[in-house]
Structures are given as C-alpha cells and as structure tokens.
A and B are shown apart, each in its own frame.
Chain A
Amino acid sequence: MASEEPLFDPLLKKKKKKKVVAFSEDPLGADADPTTPAPPFEDDDAPTTVHEQMKKSALENGEDVAKENGDEDLQAMFGDLKKKKKKKEIPMDLGEEGSGASTPAEGIATPDLDFSDLKKKKKKKEIPLDLGEDSSSSTPVAKEVEDGAAAPAEDLDFSDLKKKKKSTKKKAQLDLEAFERELGEATGVGTDGAHLDQLDDTELGDDVFAHDGEGGAAQAGAEPWLGSDRDYTYQELLHRFYNQLHAQNPSLFSSAGKRYTLAPPSIHREGNKKTIFANIADISKRMHRPLEHVIQFMLAEMGTTGSVDGSLRLVIKGRFQQKQVENVLRRYIVEYVTCKTCKSPDTLLQKENRIFFVLCESCGSRRSVQSIKTGFQAQVGRRKRTAA
C-alpha cells in the first residue's frame, strides 16, 4: 500500500482520506452498541483507564455531532478557553472541506464541546499546531490560503522529524499533494487521514514525537494567545497521547467493543424455586474458562446452591432474573477473564499450587486472582434439617 501511493494521483489520495475518516466514525457506531443495555453485554462498564475514558468521551461526541453545527453561536457564548479550542477546530473542518469530506471532521472535532478541564487544557496546548488560525475563523477559502502559506515553512521541520517514511513519500509526490497534506497536518487532528495510510508498526511512536515537534516549533514561532508558559502536566500529555493514539488507530475503538460481547445468559424458571441457566456451557466455553470454575463463582456470588443437569445446564436454587445473572457474569468476566493490564479477554486461567493465575495472551502479563470463597452463609430455612 505504502509503495503504491506515490504512483497514484491526488484523486486516489482523497478517496483514501475519506475512507479513513469514515473509519473514525465507525468506532463511534461500534461503541454505541455497548451503551445500550441490550442483551449483548460487555463488561467494561466503568471507564477505569484513560483509554476507556476516551472511548466514553468519543461516544458522547458522536451524539453531539449535530450540536457542533451551531459552532459559531456557541463560540460566542463560551469563555476564552473554549474559544481557543474552537479556533483550533475550525481550521480542521476547513482542511477537510478542502479535501471533500466535511462531516466526519466535525465528528472528530466535537470532543471539545463536553470535555472537562483537562481536555480543555490539552486542546489549548495543541493549538500551536495550526499556525495563524486565530486571526480568521470564518472564511474557508482564506483559511486555506493561509494554511498553504504556513505549510512550506513547516515542511522543513516535518521532513526532519518524521523521518524516512514520511519524507520519502513526500518527495515522490506532487507538490500539490504535499501541500494538501501539510494543510491537514497544520490542523492537527486532520493528520489522521493522511497518516493512516502509512500506518506501520513504528509509525505510532514516530508520529507522536513528530507532533510534539510541530507543537514546539510552532509555539516557538507565534501564537501569543497561547500565553501560558507553564510546563505540561502529566495528565495533559497522557490525554494528548491517547487522543492521538485513537485518532490514528481508529480500529482500537471498534475491536475492543466487538470482542467483549457474549451471548446473553438464557434464564428459565424451573418450578417455583429454581432457576435454570441454560447456556452456561456455551458461555464458559467462549470465555475459555472451565465450566466448574464459572459455576463455583456464580453460586458463591449469589449465595445459593445449585447443580448441573444432564444437558449441562445449571440449576440454581432461588429465583433469579436474567439481568441479575448477567450482572454476576459480568463480575466474573472482570475478575477472571479480562486482563487487568490491557483489558484483553484473551487470557488463560492457570492453577499453581492452589492459586489461580490469569495469563494474558495478548500482553503476556500474569496476575494472581482471588480464589473463590463462599464466605459466610447465613442459616436459611429450617434448622432441623441442617443439624441432622
């Protein structure tokens, strides 16, 4: 893919850009699924890591796309910080418009609307990426021209920072195209489109640094409204990292969502006091966990007893609804299936002298997990029977 690129004309380029943007929309859709409390359940409810938070926020963005259109009005209403952010966004839209894809760009831009302080700061920091954007934010054409003017100057820096991949390709391409790309890069997030097609394994690291470089260079140049000369906090940089990580690897969004889905537990009532969990064998198989382990956990957690019948269904004593069983199952997945380090469900459960370990197959981390304890069981029912 990368080798072909220089040979093709700008048209193809544009197509690619569009496609990539569509990609970044995709994750929104993929993420939208998990939010619905519907049967296909996944277990990352609580956004514990920044990674998750990003996902969450990305979700919100998707909903707010429409709002973004009223951009200008909002801008007037918001405080300084917001305005700065807005300024940064607008050029992005323009850049995309220039290449013929406008709506997705808005989708990307929306994050800023409902982000918390940290995000704001982050955005502020990113602003240096777009040179001289603050002066005019309304006329697209003028913007493009400005960007174009700014681009050649930046070009030098880029070729150094981005190393071979970037620069070689650039050289091979037409001036116009390079120009266009610079346009995209000058606007920060617009970069993803351009970069995605060159995504290699090492690309990520290079890119992040390249961005930093840009930021630094641009800041050194102008942007008086950037103002604050403080150091970036760790949080800001972390958010920035994840923003860019996701901007450039939209697949990260979708893949996680897909993998976590399991068939919903099918729950039936047997008689008045017993519940049947019919597809527990199937579920435990999909989680790659021994059936006994799952059953043990579920019974301990629900504080009842149960047994497995002939067709590998679990008969639980007591009345339980599907939702309740699902909750317990969710907890099982969090505790014994997902890797705490990378959230991947590709894990193995190992037992070594009475202690269970979860070995992650995707990141290789190994971690001991709690043994299943029933804990205190209160005396329920008639005492006579148990005493005997």
Chain B
Amino acid sequence: MNVDNLQQFDPLQDDLLGETDEVGSQKEHIHIRIQQRNGRKTLTTLQGLGKEYDLKKILKAFKKEFACNGNIVDDAELGQVIQLQGDQRQKIQNFLVEAGVDKKTINVHGF
C-alpha cells in the first residue's frame, strides 16, 4: 500500500461509498457510455463504479474477458473512470450484473 492510496479517501469518513453525495439522489448510478473515434473505432467508458470495488482488478478482468485494451483515467470531478477500446457496453453490463450489481443502477448510454 503506497501513500497515494491512503490519500484517496479517509476511511473514517461516513460517506465512504459516496451515497450521500447528492441531496435527493439515490445511490449513484453507474454509467456506461460510448464515444466515437476516428473511423469505425469506438471507446467505451465506465463511470460511477463505487469505491468498494477495486477498479484495477476489474479493469484487468475486463481486458481479459473482452479481449481489448483499456485503462483507468482519473477525472477531476468524476473520479476514476475505466476506458475500454471498442464497443463493450453490453458486455460490461452483463459482466456487472453477473457480478451482482443491481441492473437498475446501471445506465447504458449511447446509440
């Protein structure tokens, strides 16, 4: 465990899972989006996965399962976001649902 890791969040904080982030909003939704790149290429982003998950491990699993590359991007407001190459939206959704994430909290965007 490195120092960076410790700074990310205070374990003693009540709002560990970001549940009380916004007033009036229920649990944060998970957003799966797609973006077009040049040509036929696309990019899939997974945003809003709770802090209780280890994104690194999930990314590893994604990469292996979907046979694509990907990385984790640190966004100023939205925290860590997983980026994958290609249109993996459906696959990500299935993966998360099978892993026990409530399907209602997953928002698949795009066309």
Task: Please list the residues of chain A having a beta carbon within 8 angstroms of any beta carbon in chain B.
Answer: 301-304, 318-320, 324-325, 327-328, 375-378, 380-381
Closest Cβ of chain B: how far from A370's Cβ, in Å?
A: 9
Partner of B35, one of A304, A324, A325: A304
Task: Scan B39-53; emit 1 where CB is below 8 A from any A CB, else 0.
Answer: 000010101000000
Which of chain B's residues 9-29 have a Cβ closer than 8 Å to chain A? none
- Determine, out of B57-65, B73-81, B94-102, the stretch whose residues face the partner at the interface: B73-81
A376 and B110 contacting across the interface, CB-CB below 8 Å: no
Could you tell me the distance between the alpha carbons of A327 and B73 in the complex, rounded to whole angstroms?
A: 28
* CB neighbours of B78 from chain A (8 A): 375-376
Which of A376, A380, A381 has most B Cβ within 10 Å?
A: A376
B73 and A378 contacting across the interface, CB-CB below 8 Å: yes
Q: Which single residue of chain A is at the shortest CB-CB distance from B78?
A: A376
A378 and B45 contacting across the interface, CB-CB below 8 Å: yes
8 nearest interchain CB pairs? A324-B111, A318-B36, A303-B35, A376-B47, A376-B81, A376-B78, A375-B31, A376-B45
Which of B35, B45, B81 has most A Cβ within 10 Å?
A: B35
Q: Report the number of A-B residue pairs with Cβ-Cβ less than 8 Å.
A: 48
Could you tell me the distance between the alpha carbons of A376 and B77 in the complex, rounded to whole angstroms?
A: 9
Q: Secondary structure of the A side of the interface?
A: loop
A328 and B45 contacting across the interface, CB-CB below 8 Å: no
Task: Scan B75-111; emit 1 where CB is below 8 A from any A CB, else 0.
Answer: 1001001010000000000000000000000000111
* CB neighbours of A381 from chain B (8 A): 37-38
Could you tell me the distance between the alpha carbons of A377 and B45 in the complex, rounded to whole angstroms?
A: 8
B36 and A319 contacting across the interface, CB-CB below 8 Å: yes
Partner of B109, one of A319, A324, A375: A375
Knowing A375-B109, A378-B45, A378-B73 are in contact, say whether A303-B33 is a contact too (CB < 8 A): yes
Which of B36, B78, B110, B111 has most A Cβ within 10 Å?
A: B111
B45 and A304 contacting across the interface, CB-CB below 8 Å: no
* CB neighbours of B81 from chain A (8 A): 376, 378
Could you tell me the distance between the alpha carbons of A328 and B34 in the complex, rounded to whole angstroms?
A: 13
Some 27 contacts from A to B, beta carbons below 8 A apart, are A301-B109, A301-B110, A301-B111, A303-B33, A303-B34, A303-B35, A303-B36, A303-B109, A303-B110, A304-B35, A304-B36, A318-B36, A319-B36, A320-B111, A375-B45, A375-B47, A375-B78, A376-B75, A376-B81, A378-B43, A378-B45, A378-B81, A378-B83, A380-B35, A380-B36, A380-B37, A381-B38
